[in-house]
């Protein structure tokens, strides 16, 4: 495992990489309130003999720097800088929850740089009631995490990133409808908010999407199932995949 640092104007981003440099790449984006270490179980299931795995701490998380603001466009620009530094092609972004929503927005902003998407429990839309519910749910969750973990910036308690994403459902839906690259969506069948309506809306937004259901509260809870599905999903983009 190698650790890289990327200097931005206002923060330093820290990421781990594994496998050959600048080769075919899987970029993993964690959910808010987490760190890059959440991908460790999945990394242990994947064997990057011919391809590169990369997992950053998002700004304000883990070992990455703290900032005065956490706006969606800041995270998108961070993603661009990470992609530019890795220089791996083909590039597939694997995003969990908010990390998946950032992956959608990155694909919309930089379509020529991204060759595939794997979205884990990341719906492509949020209705107004869901916005209010999810924002409050996030606030409650992040407050509890702040009391237990030092790796989350207290300023994230404002929920700035989540509020922006949830408050702009049209932007998120537009990003989803613009996706033309191969896309895999996996979700936990026992989780909240990931019912048939969510899946059907995703199919309307991304008609070519592949759907994978995991018998768990969230897809990432079963790293073996997720890694196996990734291994079967990306061979057309990364033919040297070994599993």
Q: What is the pLDDT of residue 21?
A: 83
Which range (24-28, 52-56, 209-213, 236-240) has the least confidence? 236-240
Beta-bridge partners for 6: 13
Q: CA–CA distance from 41 to each of 36, 54, 55, 81, 101 (Å)?
A: 11, 14, 12, 26, 22
Task: Judge: domain 2-233, CATH 3.40.50.1820.
Answer: yes
The whole-number average pLDDT for the span 130-153 is: 52
Which two structure tokens, joined as six digits, stand for 58?
A: 């998002």
Name the H helices within 149-195: 160-167, 169-178
pLDDT above 90 covers a percentage of the chain that reads 44
Q: What is the pLDDT of residue 15?
A: 97
SS3 assignment, position 87: coil
Specify the DSSP element, H or E, that contains 7.
Answer: strand 2-7
Q: Is the pLDDT score of 56 beyond 90?
A: yes
- Has residue 129 got a pLDDT over 50? no
Stretch 105-111: mean pLDDT: 96
Phi and psi dihedrals of 120, rounded to 5?
A: -110, 115
The two three-digit tokens of residue 81, written as one number: 């800088």
Q: What are phi and psi of 56, to 5 degrees?
A: -90, 160
Which segment of 39-48, 64-73, 147-156 scores lowest on mean pLDDT? 147-156
Which helix (H) or strand (E) is 83 found in, with range?
helix 72-86
CB 216 within 8 A of CB 222: yes
What local confidence, expressed as pLDDT, does residue 194 receive?
Answer: 60
Token couple for 168: 């702009």
Cβ 130 vs Cβ 193: under 8 Å: yes
What pLDDT does residue 143 have? 54
Question: Residue 77: what pLDDT?
Answer: 96
Q: Of 98 and 119, which is predicted with more confidence?
A: 119
Token pair for 49 = 């003999």
Between strands 12-18 and 210-214, the pairing is unpaired
pLDDT on residue 147: 52
pTM of the model: 0.88
Sheet holding 116-120, edge to edge: 2-7, 12-18, 52-56, 25-29, 91-96, 116-120, 183-188, 210-214
Averaged confidence pLDDT in the chain: 83
d(CA 220, CA 207): 24
Task: Give the integer Cα–Cα distance in Å for 218 and 225.
Answer: 12
């Amino acid at each position: 495992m190698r650790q890289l640092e990327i200097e931005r104007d206002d923060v330093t981003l820290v990421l781990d990489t594994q496998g050959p440099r600048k080769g075919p790449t899987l970029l993993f984006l964690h959910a808010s309130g987490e760190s890059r270490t959440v991908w460790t179980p999945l990394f242990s299931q994947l064997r990057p003999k011919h391809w590169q795995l990369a997992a950053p701490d998002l700004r304000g998380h883990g070992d990455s720097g703290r900032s005065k603001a956490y706006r969606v466009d800041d995270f998108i620009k961070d993603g661009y800088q990470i992609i530019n530094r890795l220089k791996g092609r083909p590039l597939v972004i694997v995003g969990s929850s908010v990390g998946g929503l950032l992956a959608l927005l990155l694909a919309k902003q930089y379509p020529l740089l991204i060759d595939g998407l794997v979205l884990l429990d990341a719906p492509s839309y949020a209705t107004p009631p869901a916005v209010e519910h999810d924002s409050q749910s996030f606030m409650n969750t992040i407050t509890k995490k702040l009391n237990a973990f030092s790796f989350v910036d207290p300023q994230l308690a404002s929920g700035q990133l989540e509020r922006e994403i949830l408050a702009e459902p049209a932007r998120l839906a537009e990003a989803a409808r613009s996706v033309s690259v191969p896309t895999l969506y996996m979700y936990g069948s026992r989780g909240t908010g990931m019912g048939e309506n969510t899946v059907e809306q995703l199919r309307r937004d991304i008609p070519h999407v592949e759907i994978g259901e995991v018998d768990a509260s969230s897809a990432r809870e079963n790293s073996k199932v997720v890694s196996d599905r990734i291994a079967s999903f990306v061979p057309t983009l990364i033919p040297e995949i070994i599993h």
